[in-house]
Amino acid sequence: MVVLTSEPAIASDTMGSSLIGFLSALPENLLGDRLSSMMFGVESDSDGIARRAPYGLAKVEAKLRESGIDAVIASPYELHRAIGPRTKVVGIYTMDGMGYSYGSGITYWIVKLAGLPYAGLPYIARSFRYVVGSANVSPFRHNFRVVVGGPAAWQVLDSGMQDRLGIDIVFEGEFERDGPPFFRALLSGESVPRVVHARPAGVDEVARIVTPSNGGIVEVTRGCGRGCAFCTPNLSGMIRSFPFEGHIEDEMRLNLERGGADNITLHSEEYFRYGASGIDPRPEKVIELTRKAYRLVKSYGDDRTISIDFTTAAVVAQEPGMVRRVGEYVNEGGRHTFIEMGIETASPSLLERYMRGKALPYRPIEYPDIVVEAIGTLNDNGWIVVGTMILNFPGETDEDVIANLELLDRPKDLRVVTFPLPLVPVAAFRNGNFAALDDLMEDPLRREFVLRALLKAFDDLTEGVRMVTAGIRNPLRRVSLTALGLLLLGILRRRYAARTTHLPIEQLSRPPPPRYVSTMH
């Protein structure tokens, strides 16, 4: 038997609002046990089996069951109830086990630049150690092996923590193609490698989930194909789309009926390229999917909704009419939702070097204009854009950072939450040397960029706080956390404003680039 689980920070549906999960990147001195236990609870039955699960983990369970392997998903808090003498494998899914992700990096800056103390691990990393420790102290530990997989499996390897944490095997990559035969070998007692690098799966190899997903997430595409050097989804290859009938539809119904979802999030690395076989979108396919998903959720009640989560600027600029049609379904009646757009950089030279596909079919020199145009189009159709921008690419110059500052100045009247991120050593940058977060903030120019980006972000998050907390089921907690969020937002914004120079861009100093070290924090 296989028992699957995950770090508590992502096992939880965070009181009904998946966006609250981003708070799991806060350090343990700011997110103590009492608050974290309230925010990151997990519903389970008397045997410790979770009622909902992270989408990626639900996919693993589904494929194992389809392959004839007995598998269940356990609450990380009730792991001892699910593990027994028949357990041969405990699989742990991780999103940020060591705290090296983009989210943990930006949270570190948010806390430190506000003059607040930062002590200990991000909660999500602490929760990973908690669940691994729970598995290792099981009285049945001699019967099973611990396998860690998921988007952050690389962190376990690159940190050298596999043995210290008591992890038998690290499984990297997509599960569907190589996972089942590997697990069959494990269950048969065969000798297996301690590190597995799995291949991408085809659409026909992906099983439909049987456990509802947190946040009502349903995957509609996998992969991307734009070729960005820093992006792990790009490792999955060109975008592949799942059929609505017999796949997307079934997972939506499972989440609506058994998961109790009020909103279905149609997950994709680039939603507006659903049905595409290359970079160019197929608007008729995207609109057809959106219409079908909308009609399905409305058949369960007029209050049910759909959302989409990711896009690029280029595809929005290519087909604004398609974006408008999708917005009529997703943001009907004046509704506003978030959508993430990886802006990444306004520097044409960095685009040319590391992410030329990001701008296609446009040229890198046109990209800043495309970003502004796309944000405006999305705003006009009900979306607030969460725009990520990355610092510290290898070879990054002051001119590259100034290009980012100039782009920040342009969408002043547009609704975009600009999050500056430190480059994480993944994909093509794996095992590279990168500046520590504190070293980057010692550079006045880069510090100014981060502060201005956060000020812009917090200006557009005032309404966003209410959007984030709207899904919280408990009304008292919803009101309390909304008030707390608005209070903290105001405090942070005032502190960042006091630390920003507000000098014109041409007057900003241009010091030597930061020194490079091998640690993230």
Amino acid at 49: I
pLDDT per position as a tens digit, 315-339: 999 999 999 999 999 999 999 999 9
520 band by pLDDT with thresholds 50, 70 and 90? very low
| Chain mean pLDDT for the chain | 89
Give the helix ranges, DSSP H, for 243-339.
Answer: 249-257, 283-298, 313-318, 320-330
Give percent of the chain with pLDDT exceeding 70: 92
Q: How many residues does the chain have?
A: 521
CB contact at 8 A, 317 and 308: no
Cα(73)–Cα(61) distance, rounded to whole angstroms?
7
What domains can you pick out in the chain, each with its CATH number? Answer: 2-197 (3.40.50.280), 212-460 (3.20.20.70)
pLDDT per position as a tens digit, 259-303: 999 999 999 999 999 999 999 999 999 999 999 999 999 999 999
- pTM more than 0.85: yes
Residue 504 or residue 218, greater confidence = 218
Strands in 129-275 per DSSP E: 145-149, 169-172, 195-197, 217-219, 221-222, 240-241, 263-267
CB-hemisphere CA count at 13 Å for 31?
25
pLDDT per position as a tens digit, 479-495: 777 777 777 778 888 88
Task: Please work out, in degrees rounded to the nearest 5, the angle formed at the alpha carbon of residue 444 by the alpha carbons of 457 and 393.
Answer: 70
Mean pLDDT of 213-222: 96
Residue 147 or residue 434, greater confidence = 147
Q: How many beta carbons lie within 10 A of that of residue 40, not counting itself?
A: 26
Cα(502)–Cα(32) distance, rounded to whole angstroms?
35
Instruction: Give per-residue burial for 214-240: e unless 16+ CB within 10 Å, then b.
Output: bbbbbbbbbbbbbbbbbbbbbebebbb
